A = this chain, B = another copy of it.
């Protein structure tokens, strides 16, 4: 018997992956969590039935949500990750020697617990063993409301703007993030697919521009995400992601990256015409 998981990215199109077995299936107070083993992509985490990450292609997402901001900020000591309970983002953050403290604020403790159990290659830095990592099982909004002027970089590693993450795509949230950042702080947030989610992008970037002086979109290719083309918002108080990029520091990084590199950093901001048009200012 062959079992296939199909995710519809629209009512009429999707991806389909062969499943070897289910490792965990359960419901937290926030969402449905499933961890399965696929034939092609290794282990895969689903929240409310949607692919969050797979072992085979997670390196793209996690390289790209972390390294651009951390190679633009000249001294990223205090980094906060909101969401990202699988641990992949924190894993990349702590590779940067400048980081003194990496805080994970994830609303759903079950995601952290089961990632540590079933996705150790992602969760290796959130299993309690890493000296630079602090873990808060808490609502991201509440946490940043209480921690003003505290972070050099905030990474919003959220699910789609439905369910528990809906508030993370609104102007009120970006104002809280702005307040929680130091005076030269940078926020990066995943910002959906330019190919499928033009309307979400339009609203999100408009809200970001009302809060931050520098807002740019960059792209990455993630095969298991809708359309394969994904994007991130770089919102910053002072540093521009291209003009203030420390190419030398990125080129001399002491860790290996399978997606990110110092040239790709620049190329990621060179967007297809249709993607630029999604977020054009009115």
Contact = CB atoms under 8 A, between A and B. Distances in A.
Please indicate which of the listed interface residues A219, A223, A258 has the most CB atoms of chain B within 10 Å of its own CB.
A223
Number of copies: 2
A25 interface: no
B268 A10 contact: no
Interface string A258-282: 1111011011111111101000000
A117 interface: no
Contacts of A270: 263-264, 266-268, 270
Nearest to A15: B15
Interface stretch (A36-44, A125-133, A137-145, A173-181): A36-44
A266 B270 CA distance: 8
A261 B261 CA distance: 22
A12 interface: yes
A213 interface: no
A47 interface: no
Interface string A210-229: 00000000010111000111
Nearest to A219: B221
B273 A257 contact: yes
A274 B219 CA distance: 16
Contacts of A195: 57, 221, 223
Contacts of A272: 60, 221, 258-261, 264
Contacts of A6: 16
Interface string A13-36: 111111000000000000000000
Nearest to A223: B227
Contacts of A266: 267, 270
A2 to B, nearest CB: 9
A16 B18 contact: no
Given A14-B16, A261-B272, A266-B270, 7 more contacts: A10-B40, A13-B15, A13-B39, A13-B41, A219-B221, A258-B272, A264-B272
21 contacts: A11-B39, A12-B39, A13-B38, A13-B41, A15-B16, A57-B195, A195-B221, A219-B221, A221-B229, A221-B272, A223-B229, A228-B228, A228-B229, A258-B273, A259-B273, A260-B273, A261-B272, A261-B276, A264-B270, A267-B268, A270-B270
5 smallest CB-CB distances across A and B, nearest first, come from A228-B228, A267-B270, A12-B39, A267-B267, A12-B40
